[in-house]
Amino acid sequence: MDTFDTIDAVLASGSGADSRAYDEPSPGDGELLDHYSRTVSSVVLRAAPSVAAVHVKRPPPRRGAAREAWGSGSGFLFTPDGYLLTNSHVVHEARGIRVEFPGGREFEGAVMGDDPDSDIAVIRIGSQDLPYLALGESASLIPGQIAIAMGNPLGFQFTVTTGVVSALGRTLPARSGRMMHGVLQTDAALNPGNSGGPLLDSRGRVIGVNTAVIPGAQGLCFAVGIDVAKWVIGELFVHGRVRRAYLGVAGATEMLPRALVRAHGLSQRTAVRVTGVGAASPAERAGLKAGDRIVGLDGTVVKTIDDLQRLLDSSRLGKACPLRVLRGAEQLYLIATPHELTTGSRSPG
């Protein structure tokens, strides 16, 4: 089986209230606790050989510094032939990567693909027949499910924390400036160094890639949903990069006047107000102007700048997309053909 066959295979799971009085002890309480402990321990024992500490050599922290700096994070194998998932910010500007597994096994690693916009990266190590983690589905999750985080927080290697999936569908800013969508919120404790480690369900399947905490908050931790990560993996292996569509506008979410909502029969109360249009961009060629309000793209309602970013995926590259726009009190339909986002065209949409 070659690498692409392996990747294809990897990317292809009643309640009732107890009416007894509170002062009646439940004979099963101890057994339930033991069952929870056994579940977590079983997942950890199976997953641990696939979870790695990722040590990264970076450029000197300041000009004139004599030594390069080292940083660390986490990662995990998702194929048997040496591919690991981690965070983009873990391997950013890496000049060398050392991957360490439980028991002391170490490998030199190289970045195979990197997507700062989703904070996902893939590392390759030169080895075969390695234990790897199965990728689950984040779309099927519900709040309250068990979440098990593994990684290397603050240098304490191979640490386990547990909690639940607290919320689904969160949006966070990536270091690139774009918004990350499909983010999971969990109360499984994460700290610097957990970044890139797996968030697992009770069956040991990866449901997220641990990515962020909010400084000063308690129980507010986040992971990139594994469905997003699987899409990124596919793009990286097929194209060597993640392709996204670029429209060429800067904008912000804005409340719509009630009169406009009624006059045009809109189903939304907000839209994207255009604050700038890139020179020679698809938006400029379509006739979009600063001050316009975008309320729809390609037949889909646009309520927020996040909506606009999410819609500008690879499916709209080179496609003539109708833009539903309010210019003053007038409604217009403009045709824009987004092209591929490049490093030099970093705007919200």
Statement: residue 18 has pLDDT above 90: no
CATH number at residue 299: 2.30.42.10
E runs forming strands in 10-119 = 51-58, 69-77, 83-86, 96-100, 106-115
The domain that holds 227 is classified in CATH as 2.40.10.10
% of the chain beyond a pLDDT of 70: 87
Q: Examine residue 130 and state whether it is found in any structural domain, yes or no.
A: no
In this structure, are 41 and 98 located in the same domain?
yes
The enclosing H or E element of 334 equals strand 330-336
* Same domain for 309 and 232: no
Residue 23 falls inside a structural domain: no
Average per-residue pLDDT for the chain = 87
Averaged pLDDT for residues 98-117? 94
Q: Is the pLDDT of residue 261 over 70?
A: yes
Based on the fold, state whether residues 319 and 282 are members of the same structural domain: yes
pLDDT at 349: 61
Choose the final residue of a domain: 219, 239, 259.
Answer: 239
* Residues with a known catalytic role: 89, 119, 195
If pLDDT is split at 50, 70 and 90, which confidence band does 336 have? very high
Domain count, the chain: 3
| The most confident of 57-61, 168-172, 320-324, by mean pLDDT | 320-324
Which structural domain, as residue segments, surrounds residue 39? 3-9+31-61+68-125
- Could you read off the pLDDT of 266-322 as tens digits, one per residue? 999 999 999 999 999 999 999 999 999 999 999 999 998 878 988 998 899 999 999
Give the CA angle between residues 229, 235, 237 to the nearest 5°. Answer: 100
Lowest-confidence pick of 15-24, 96-105, 205-214, 259-268 = 15-24
Q: For 124-134, what is the mean pLDDT?
A: 93
pLDDT in tens, 35-49: 889 999 999 999 999
pTM equals: 0.79
Same domain, 116 and 153: no
Report pLDDT digits (tens) over 218-256: 889 999 999 999 999 999 999 899 998 999 999 989 999
Q: Does the residue 138 lie in any domain?
A: no
Look at residue 74 and tell me whether its pLDDT is greater than 70: yes
Looking at residue 46, its pLDDT comes to 96
Q: Please name the residues in contact with 274: beta carbons below 8 A apart, sequence gap of 6 or more.
A: 249, 250, 251, 283, 288, 289, 290, 291, 292, 293, 294
On whether residue 252 sits in a domain, the answer given is yes
